[in-house]
């Protein structure tokens, strides 16, 4: 991530285009919807039935066309020439229907267009974005000339069709667009300038003879020009900041109550320390608003914007204006770099930090963390005031806990993390710059760690539910538990499994027993030693009793087989598998239909991080024949993740793929810092010396006409589909070509570069 590019403007002159004073005025921004409907009805634009305007009904695409015609004052022309307008280029617009002429006229004017299939779909409901496009067309704006589909919402705000600042960054369309919403847009459009006439839109109604100037004055669209009016306008509207909106940690905007001609100086600083300036750039300027980009704001810090000598278009000058805001941060960050993704408050002492990369033991060093309140330090990790613990069941998460004191409910805090902290990918936090995110504290006392429920899952398995996530290492040690029957006879424990799926992730244990328990009998379980995920609270030598009440559970089954190529098949099961039995190649055998000879896979891959229910079987060349039908048999001893065996041989048929085994290649290169890239591959790779050798990879690039090559410093094997290459340094915005010499797939087959394959991928490190 690059820093230091923003330039602080010590003196800034904003020369804005002053509006020419006319007889027309802006309509009231505080008008009620009933008042807006009444005005549009008076102008014969918005028509109801017996006083019912159906404001809560959705607007159809055919109705939108009719409204556009009426806004332009062209309805009489369209009705008189309906024959010529009713034949449209859209096969789904029947020329005999009432709306055909409206659609045809708007299409000829370039206001309407069909979808990608050439249809108009007149009876479907229109979305907000599509309606705004139509009204922009009524005003004379052309898509792909004056704006694009992507920035349509922003253009609608700039023009004045919508007034909420959120439209500057709005992306999602409103599919529930109502007739009442259309009223608001059309009301705003009436007094906006049409490009072709350079007059406000309602003048087209006057030009068409549908509206007189006297009626326009009566309706509030115009006023009579007098010296008294002019003087009142100048004297009674001192410049003010109407609204300041902070979009995210680096973007904000403020809107004035009138058009501005110039501003002599803008300053931005911490409210309680004016010497700490916040650097900024001016992103966009319009008549009455400014969009700004700042350096990253400190979450929770109060900032002041100071404007000096602001001159409006009437040449009135205000010496100073001030506005304050609090630094914020995105609620959820999406980034390829190592960043804080989101913060989830848990109680008055703890929060969960989620990251964009997986984390490991490095993230438990509390020295990396500082919690701030109102922008200033509240608790320091380096002073041993914080406890950081990774959550084994959530690879992207750290639990951060106050060792003393509590958070105040509703108060804004932020977590700041040093750039020295590294992810499991081996890269620094935010490329070494560190990161910070805001959160609002919740209440709730931190409950002590305890067992909430104990019940048989089936006749061979117990299910323990805790109120907090457990320490996975201690939980899986069978000697930390002791089980007896009502006669105090011990029952052997084979395995303990921590739940890693769903809402109870990390809070549920399954104890697999060496013998079955009898229904309705009483049993006793002693927990010898177990702590929570933070390793701060313990359950030690406590005995619990339970009655063996259980139902029959489904056994492990084979769901489907997907042939990948003639040497590879994917097998999907109904549940997660035991890590040890899942990869035993002798547990799987394939026979021809109606045949006896069996072949076994060369090697088996099972990786829960790739897919928790999938096993991949790799066969030798010639073991399977293209398109032949086979039966796969899986041993009854294959166990699910709780240690329960299938109990019977699992069988399923499949046809071998006609595809030959393909060479592995790089599917994608993702820069994850300025010194590392993450590689995704099309096939599974072996954990081999060749694949992990830095000499196997090179990047090539050109600077000022000179070609360079470099090898990575190290290679990290993340899983069979993912590697990380660490370099000394990668430059921003320089095209790189990454090449490899040889790849070894999971079955051990080696693929060297040939003229037939592609062994390179191009990438570029872009600023985040």
CB 750 within 8 A of CB 732: no
What confidence score (pLDDT) does residue 107 get? 93
At 30-54, the pLDDT tens digits run 788 888 999 999 999 998 776 788 8
Same domain, residue pair 59 and 84: yes
Q: Is the pLDDT of residue 221 over 50?
A: yes
Domain that holds residue 397: 340-440
Q: Are residues 68 and 189 in the same domain?
A: yes
Does 14 map to a domain?
no
Question: Could you tell me the strand order of the sheet in which 481-485 lies?
Answer: 481-485, 522-531, 538-547
Q: What is the pLDDT of residue 461?
A: 92
Per-residue pLDDT for 16 more than 70? Answer: no
pLDDT, residue 756, reads 44
Q: Specify if 670 maps to a domain.
A: yes
Residue 196 inside a domain? The answer is yes
Do 408 and 488 have their domain in common? no
Does 469 map to a domain? yes
CA separation for the pair 587, 306 (Å, rounded): 74
Number of domains, the chain: 6
For residue 446, tell me if it sits in a domain: no
CA atoms of 369 and 381, how far apart (whole Å): 5
Residues 528, 670 within the same domain? no
Task: Kindly tell me if the per-residue pLDDT of 12 is higher than 50.
Answer: no
Same domain flag for 198 and 251: no
In a domain, 228, yes or no: no
Note whether residue 227 is domain-resident.
no
Per-residue pLDDT, 325: 85
Averaged over 436-442, what is the pLDDT? 89
Distance between CA atoms of residues 648 and 368, nearest Å: 52
Q: What average pLDDT does the segment 146-159 reach?
A: 90
- Among 524, 547, 570, residue at a domain's last position: 547
Task: Verify that 286 and 405 share a domain, yes or no.
Answer: no
Residue 117 confidence (pLDDT): 67
The secondary structure of residue 77, as a DSSP letter, is: H
Residues 496 and 366 occupy one common structural domain: no
What DSSP line would sit under 623-663, residue for residue?
SS-TT-EEEEEE-TT-BBTTS-B--S-EEEEEE--SSPPPP
To the nearest whole number, what is the mean pLDDT of the chain? 87
Pairing of strands 251-256, 289-294: antiparallel
Q: What is the CATH number of the domain that holds 290?
A: 2.60.40.1220
- pLDDT reported for residue 499: 87
DSSP per position, 425-477: TS-BGGGGT-EEEEEE------PPP-EEEEEEEETTEEEEEESS-B-HHHHT-
pTM (2 d.p.): 0.58
Domain final position from 440, 470, 500:
440
**CB pairs under 8 A, 24+ apart, for 527-530?**
527/451, 527/480, 527/481, 528/479, 528/480, 528/481, 528/482, 529/474, 529/480, 530/470, 530/471, 530/474, 530/475, 530/480
Residues 516 and 592 in one domain: no
More confident site: 444 or 288: 288
Which whole number is the average pLDDT over 750-754?
78
The answer to the question of residue 388 being in a domain is yes
Q: Are residues 411 and 481 in the same domain?
A: no
pLDDT (average), residues 47-69: 89
- 723 in the same domain as 675: yes
Of 291, 326, 361, which one is at a domain's C-terminal end?
A: 326
The CB density around residue 319, as the number of other CB atoms within 10 Å, is 9
pLDDT category at 768 given cuts 50, 70, 90 is low
Claim to verify: residue 49 and residue 136 sit in the same structural domain: yes
Tell me what pLDDT residue 343 has.
Answer: 93
Q: How many CB atoms lie within 10 A of CB 307?
A: 24
DSSP for 536-565, please give it. Answer: --EEEEEEEEEE------PPP-EEEEEEEE
Residues 426 and 475 in one domain: no
Give the model confidence (pLDDT) of 323-334 as tens digits: 888 887 666 788
DSSP conformation class of 514:
S
Of 216 and 234, the structure prediction assigns the larger pLDDT to 216
Pick the closest to residue 454 from 538, 532, 549, 579 (CA basis): 549
């Amino acid at each position: 991530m690059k820093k230091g590019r923003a330039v602080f403007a010590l003196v800034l002159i904003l020369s804005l285009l002053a509006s020419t004073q006319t007889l027309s005025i802006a309509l009231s921004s505080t008008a009620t919807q009933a008042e807006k409907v009444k005005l549009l009805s008076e102008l014969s634009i918005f028509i109801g039935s017996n006083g019912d305007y159906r404001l809560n009904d959705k607007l159809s695409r055919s109705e939108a066309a009719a409204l556009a015609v009426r806004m332009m004052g062209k309805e009489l022309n369209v009705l008189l020439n309906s024959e010529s307008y009713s034949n449209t280029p859209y096969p789904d617009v029947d020329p005999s229907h009432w709306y055909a002429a409206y659609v045809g006229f708007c299409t000829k004017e370039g206001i309407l267009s069909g979808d990608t299939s050439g249809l108009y779909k007149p009876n479907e409901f229109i979305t907000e974005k599509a309606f705004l496009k139509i009204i922009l067309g009524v005003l004379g704006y052309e898509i792909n000339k004056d704006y694009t589909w992507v920035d349509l919402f922003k253009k609608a705000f700039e023009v004045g069709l919508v007034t909420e600042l959120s439209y500057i960054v709005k992306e999602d369309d409103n599919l529930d667009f109502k007739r009442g919403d259309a009223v608001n847009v059309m009301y705003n459009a009436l007094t906006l300038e049409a490009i072709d006439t350079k007059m406000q839109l309602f003048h087209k109604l006057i030009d068409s003879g549908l509206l007189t100037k006297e009626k326009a004055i009566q309706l509030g669209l115009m006023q009579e020009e007098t010296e008294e009016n002019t003087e009142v306008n100048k004297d009674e509207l001192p410049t003010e900041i109407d609204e300041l909106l902070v979009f995210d940690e680096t973007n904000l905007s403020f809107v004035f109550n009138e058009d501005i001609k110039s501003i002599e100086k803008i300053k931005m600083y911490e409210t309680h320390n004016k010497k700490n300036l916040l650097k900024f750039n001016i992103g966009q300027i319009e008549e009455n608003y400014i969009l700004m980009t700042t350096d990253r704001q400190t979450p929770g810090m109060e900032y002041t914007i100071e404007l000096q000598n602001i001159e409006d278009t009437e040449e009135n000058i205000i010496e100073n204006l001030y506005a304050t805001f609090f630094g914020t941060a995105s609620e959820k960050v999406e980034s390829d770099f190592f960043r804080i993704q989101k913060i989830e408050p848990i109680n008055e002492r703890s929060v969960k930090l989620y990251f964009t990369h997986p984390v490991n033991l490095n993230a438990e060093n509390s020295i990396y963390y500082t919690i701030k309140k109102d922008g200033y330090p509240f608790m320091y990790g380096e002073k041993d005031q914080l406890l950081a613990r990774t959550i084994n069941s959530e690879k992207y998460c750290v639990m951060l806990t106050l060792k003393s004191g509590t958070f105040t409910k509703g108060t804004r805090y932020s977590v700041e993390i040093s750039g020295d902290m590294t992810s499991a990918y081996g890269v620094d936090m935010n490329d070494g710059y560190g990161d910070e995110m805001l959160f609002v504290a919740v209440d709730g006392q931190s409950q002590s760690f305890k067992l909430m429920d104990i019940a048989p899952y089936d006749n061979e398995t117990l299910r323990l539910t805790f109120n907090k996530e457990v320490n996975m290492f201690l939980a899986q040690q069978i000697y930390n538990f002791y089980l007896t029957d009502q006669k105090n006879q011990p029952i052997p424990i084979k395995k303990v499994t921590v739940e890693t799926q769903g809402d109870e992730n990390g809070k549920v244990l399954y104890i697999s027993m060496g013998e079955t328990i009898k229904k309705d009998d009483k049993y006793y379980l002693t927990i010898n030693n177990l702590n929570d995920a933070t390793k701060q609270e313990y359950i030690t030598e406590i005995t619990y009793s339970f009655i063996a009440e259980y139902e029959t559970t489904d056994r492990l089954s084979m769901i489907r087989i997907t042939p990948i190529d003639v040497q590879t098949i994917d097998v999907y099961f109904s549940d997660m598998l035991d890590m040890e039995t899942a990869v035993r190649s002798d547990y799987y055998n394939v026979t021809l239909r109606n045949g006896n000879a069996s072949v076994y896979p060369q090697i088996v891959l099972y990786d829960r991080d790739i897919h928790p229910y999938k096993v991949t079987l790799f066969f030798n060349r010639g073991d399977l024949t293209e398109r032949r039908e086979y039966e796969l048999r899986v041993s009854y001893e294959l166990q699910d993740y709780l240690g329960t065996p299938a109990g019977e041989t699992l069988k399923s048929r499949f046809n071998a793929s006609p595809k030959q085994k393909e060479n592995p290649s790089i599917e994608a290169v993702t820069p994850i810092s300025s010194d590392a890239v993450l590689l995704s591959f099309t096939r599974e790779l072996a954990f081999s010396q060749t694949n992990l050798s830095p000499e196997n990879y090179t990047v090539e690039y050109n600077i000022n006409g000179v070609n360079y090559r470099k090898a990575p410093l190290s290679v990290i094997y993340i899983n069979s589909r993912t590697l990380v290459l660490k370099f000394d340094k990668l430059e921003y915005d320089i095209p790189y070509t990454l090449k490899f010499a040889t790849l070894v797939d999971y079955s051990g087959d080696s693929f060297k570069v040939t003229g037939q394959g592609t062994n390179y991928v191009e990438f570029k490190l872009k600023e985040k």
